[in-house]
Amino acid sequence: MRFSTLALLSSFTVGVAAQSKSCGTFNNMLVADMGDGDQKYVTLVDDQLTLGQPGIWNLTTTVDFDTCVATVDFSKSDKPEQPPCPLNAQILQTGVGTIILEYTDSTGTINTDSTYPLNLWTSTEPLPNVESCLVFEQTKFQDMHDGDVKNVELTAGGQLTMGQEGIWSLTSQVDPITCQATIDFSQSTKPDQPPVPLIATVVKASGETASDLNQRMMLVFTDPSGELNEDSEYPLNIWEAV
């Protein structure tokens, strides 16, 4: 697992103007890139979305206020390891106050499902969860780090079960206040386990506009031990329901 730890401050404010359309405003916001395993900086002012890494690459594109989606053509930048086609980046907000850029492929080059999440960039400073914990039957989740699909179920009693059929399975208890569970993969037969137990926070994310009715279920993984990242709230991985 690759993670960098930059001790830099990032601040952002998100709001929808009462009389005009908006997808929020944030300045030089530090985000964790789940796919690349590194960090990027993101700025949104009016409809101009700027992405990049200082001294390496920079790209500005326009956000559609009706959908809060921007077309991101990385070939117009010096970004290393570019995807083979332009991607759509939708601006989302979670129940713990974090901002997420969800990347999908409308061309069908990478995935024929234009709504399938290919990667997530997330801000790194969560707030206490203000919503009740989700409950859902067994659902497929895309693992942004491993690049595969996991099966996850969360019962009304807080039993969080995850795994891959015929390979591994693990059940943990979710705290009903924080919507968090301690996930000790060493208690399962999962391949490529992290070296320490992780915290999984169950959150939902949605867009800023009324047209985005799809509320996305996610598991955000962090390390309370500080072994993988000294910041115990830093997002190491995200699984998103597909």
The pLDDT value given to residue 212:
62
Identity at 143, one-letter amino acid code: D
Q: What is the mean pLDDT of the chain?
A: 90
CB neighbour list of residue 185: distance below 8 Å, 6 or more residues apart: 170, 193, 194, 197, 198
Burial of 172-196, coded b for 16+ CB within 10 Å and e otherwise, reads bebeeeebbbebebeebebeeebee
Report how far residue 47's alpha carbon sits from residue 39's, in angstroms, rounded to the nearest whole number.
Answer: 22
The per-residue pLDDT for range 134-145, each reduced to its tens digit, is 999 999 999 999
Helix/strand/coil for 187: helix
The per-residue pLDDT for range 115-125, each reduced to its tens digit, is 999 999 999 98
The per-residue pLDDT for range 162-220, each reduced to its tens digit, is 999 999 999 999 999 999 999 999 999 999 999 999 999 999 998 865 556 578 999 99
- Per-domain boundaries in the chain: 11-123, 136-241
Percent of the chain with pLDDT over 70: 89
Read off the pTM. Answer: 0.87
Band (pLDDT 50/70/90 cuts) for residue 131 is confident
Query: Do 144 and 240 meet the contact criterion of CB atoms below 8 Å apart?
Result: yes
The pLDDT value given to residue 127:
85
The pLDDT value given to residue 227:
97
Report how far residue 62's alpha carbon sits from residue 76's, in angstroms, rounded to the nearest whole number.
Answer: 14
Between 8 and 185, name the one with better pLDDT. 185
Q: Where does the chain show beta strands of DSSP type E?
A: 11-13, 25-33, 39-45, 48-53, 57-64, 69-72, 87-94, 99-104, 119-123, 136-143, 149-154, 159-164, 168-173, 180-183, 198-207, 216-222, 237-241
The pLDDT value given to residue 210:
53
Quickly list DSSP for 60-87: EEEEETTTTEEEE-GGGS--SS--SS-E
